[in-house]
């Protein structure tokens, strides 16, 4: 019995060793290679968006690998893109802060508020009433293009959600929910070039 046992072990060992040494039995393409196994990276595709303001003007912007290029503002003003809704309490609560921020830095800074509500739910006439009620002086955009931009910008799901871009269109900071004036100012000064820009 012992002889048969050792003979079986010997044959098994011989098969294993000869199998590993025989390159003809191995398909190299099936062997894991850490240098080749790089993560899948989605190819960047630049997109252009044409947002329509409540007074019919077009704000054109193009996505880049670093952020957004705003056709009429690049090199002139930092931009805060504000996704909001008229039924959102934190959005309304934050309006005085945004207005103060814009007034204080108006030479170097603009806010573009992007309505995150369907036109069938909130007609433009109601948005104009909202603008008058809260004395909003910066542009608010409406329409389907808003939702395309929201999808492209990290797939906006919650509001208020705000994205700050420097004068040259580089993404600086995302703000989610209620934010105080001091926090906005820290990053806005980076965006307009008063402080060293640190991408967040």
Rounded Cα gap, residues 25 and 23, in angstroms: 5
* Distance, CA of 159 to chain centre: 14
Whole-number pLDDT of residue 154: 83
* 85-104 pLDDT tens trace: 999 999 999 999 999 999 99
List the CATH code of the domain at 48-191. Answer: 3.40.30.10
* 25-46 pLDDT tens trace: 544 444 444 455 555 556 778 9
* β partners of residue 170: 67
* β partners of residue 53: 141
Whole-number pLDDT of residue 165: 97
- Cβ(165)–Cβ(78) under 8 Å? yes
Whole-number pLDDT of residue 167: 96
Rounded Cα gap, residues 141 and 54, in angstroms: 6
Short-list 116, 111, 110, CA closest to 142: 116
Output the pTM of the full model: 0.76
Whole-number pLDDT of residue 195: 64
Rounded Cα gap, residues 193 and 102, in angstroms: 16
Whole-number pLDDT of residue 38: 52
> What percent of the chain has a predicted confidence (pLDDT) above 90?
68
Mean pLDDT of the residues in the chain: 83
Tokens of 193: 């070039």
Domain chopping of the chain, boundaries: 48-191
Between these two residues, 35 and 186, which has the higher pLDDT value? 186
* 9-18 pLDDT tens trace: 444 444 444 3
* 99-156 pLDDT tens trace: 999 999 999 999 999 999 987 778 889 999 999 999 999 999 999 999 999 999 988 9
3-state secondary structure of 158: coil
């Amino acid at each position: 019995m012992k002889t048969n046992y050792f003979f079986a072990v010997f044959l098994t060992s011989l098969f294993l060793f000869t199998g590993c040494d025989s390159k003809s039995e191995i398909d190299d393409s099936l062997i894991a290679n850490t240098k080749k196994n790089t993560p899948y990276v989605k190819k960047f595709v630049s997109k252009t968006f044409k947002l329509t303001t409540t007074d019919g003007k077009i704000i054109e912007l193009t996505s880049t690998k670093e952020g957004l290029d705003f056709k009429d503002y690049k090199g002139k003003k930092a931009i805060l893109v504000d996704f909001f809704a008229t039924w959102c309490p934190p959005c309304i609560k934050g309006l005085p802060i945004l207005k103060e921020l814009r007034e204080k830095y108006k030479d170097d800074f603009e806010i573009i508020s992007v309505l995150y509500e369907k036109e069938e739910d909130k007609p433009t006439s109601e948005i104009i009433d909202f603008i008058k009620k809260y004395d909003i002086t910066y542009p608010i955009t409406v329409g389907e293009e808003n939702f395309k931009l929201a999808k492209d910008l990290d797939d906006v799901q919650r509001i208020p959600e705000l994205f700050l871009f420097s004068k040259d269109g580089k993404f600086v900071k995302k703000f989610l929910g209620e934010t105080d004036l001091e926090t906005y100012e820290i990053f806005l000064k980076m965006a307009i070039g008063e402080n060293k820009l640190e991408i967040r």
